[in-house]
Chains A and B, each alone.
Chain A
Amino acid sequence: MNNFTVEAIELTRLYGGREAVSNVSFTLSKGQVLGFLGPNGAGKSTTMKMLTGNLAPSNGSVKICGIDMIEHPKEAKALIGYLPEMRPLYKELTVDEYLTIAARLHRVSAGNIKKAVEIAKERCGLGHMSKRLIENLSNGYQQRVGIAQAIIHNPMVVILDEPTVGLDPIQIRDIRALIREVGAERSVIISTHILPEVEMVCDHVQIIDKGKLVFNGSIDVLKKQRIGNKLLISMLNPPSADELLKIAGVTEVEVLSANQMRVRFADDAAPAEAIVQAAVKNNWGLHQIAPDQTSLEDVFVQLTYQEQAVPDVSVS
């Protein structure tokens, strides 16, 4: 018996012959936060619907804590909290009424419902909204109610489809903190368009494109790919490339413009200080030196548009 909380095995979903999701397999363990990335229409939401049993996979299977979603849907669903892309809120009810119903439907025992509702409200910062009709809440607060609904029964797996859409920056920060908090003891899967969010919240990243997984691995792999061993240097009187190559650790120099160049260095070297010293000594007129980061967007674009070009990144 392994301790995977979520196992997706060769999930495939056809929509009238077109593959919306094809052969997606992954696992998730307790205490992990998985970020689901992908352009529009890549199959993120479809995959999430299959994970939560809202959509039957055309092929493949889903196991939640070892329980098969197709064979024992009730038991499996009891372990999941799900917030779909469109918030499933009954707008004619108040926050308290809605959360009570959510708790009841998710098999929270009668005696604990009140407590569960209080805890969920507190975690999502909804305490002072108890008696308000959901209809009258702002977009951001409605989103919080949606999240509260997903965590009310303290599920093993929380699946949130674009949880930070429509929130203001402070709320986004709160929600991210909440996701990390839940992720510490449970498993969380979130989908998002916001790339830095993935870096902040997730330990695992999956990039999905046209229904296929193009990247599945730890966030560190992605970060490494992103930061790389590069320095961006701007100088008023730049020396020739050969002079820079003499500095210990520098492996490659690329001249970008008249006074800017990019320097690559070996994995274990840190040549920044040596370069500065050389610049002072030789009066190169150094005015900027910084690690050259490929933005996460670039990595994302690279992965989704040239998937063949970077096969070595797919470590799962």
Chain B
Amino acid sequence: MIINVARKELKSMFASPMGWVILSLLMFAFGTYYLNGVNDYFSVMSGAMRPAERTGVTQFVGQMVYGFASFMVLFAVPLLSMRLISEERRSQTLPFLFSAPISLTEIVMGKFLGLVAFLGILVVFIGAMLSTLNIWADIDFGFIVANSIGLLLMVASFSALGLYFSSLTQQPVVAAILTFVALFALMFLDRFFAGDPSNTLASLSLTRHFQSFSGGLIDTADIAYFGLFILTFLTLTVRRLDADRLRG
């Protein structure tokens, strides 16, 4: 049943130009970064004489692309997540889901997975794009896998938060703005505490937990953080929708 809701979401996303436009624009941007990364690699490495200054091509290009990607999804996710619930609320289509034999949890999970699957396309494409380096170099696939997992977890966390804000309002634009502001704050929280890295608030920052993935390290603590983040916002969303049923 979760799958059916997710399929419905994917269908709606690809039924409008919005989904296609965002996908293609993002891929265009990532492709440009990839190309620049490869060009820069040669110019930078030809100047780096000592072995200590040299880095592998995977890491050099990968860090550029994934760093940019983790920044770009900050703009892309609010645009995609905003309509998930608020649009249905506005066009009064929620009763269609509420009166079908599916629980609220399944509806929320389905919508969440639908969006993550859509954004997962991006993650897969980026991974595939970077893997093409393997044609003439011997690349580090472990690095790409760790980064892909990290990016996917981050995108999923963004989506969970976006879904929650979308359930709060009838206006998709309001949901998008709220999501963007909240994500922006969470992303750059650690910058505010740059002088005191051990601060508890700083460790709430999403970027900080993405950092280990971007270095090629899969840390269970970070996975747990993203998992809890997602769980929290999905639970809040279910509760918000349940309040609709109770309070009317």
Write the residues of chain A forming the contact surface with B, with a CB cutoff of 8 angstroms.
Answer: 13, 15, 46, 49, 52-56, 73-75, 77-78, 80, 82, 84, 86-93, 97, 101-102, 104-107, 149
Contact = CB atoms under 8 A, between A and B. Distances in A.
Q: Which of B8, B94, B97, B248 has the most CB of A within 10 A?
A: B248
A106 B100 contact: yes
Contact of A107 (B16, B92, B101): B101
B101 A88 contact: no
Given A74-B102, A105-B102, A106-B100, A55 B5 contact: no
B99 A80 contact: yes
Given A101-B8, A105-B5, A88 B93 contact: yes
Contacts of B4: 101, 104-105
A90 B98 CA distance: 15
Contact of B11 (A13, A75, A84, A97): A97
Nearest to A55: B248
Interface of B: 1, 4-5, 7-8, 11-12, 15-16, 91-103, 245-246, 248
A107 to B, nearest CB: 6
B15 A93 contact: yes
B248 A13 contact: yes
B101 A106 contact: yes
Contacts of B91: 91
Contacts of B246: 56
B93 A89 contact: yes
**Residue from A13, A56, A149 having most chain B Cβ neighbours under 10 A:** A56
Given A56-B246, A84-B92, A105-B5, A92 B101 contact: no
Contacts of B93: 88-90
A55 B94 CA distance: 12
A90 B99 CA distance: 15
Given A88-B96, A105-B4, A107-B1, 5 more contacts: A13-B248, A53-B99, A56-B245, A91-B91, A93-B15
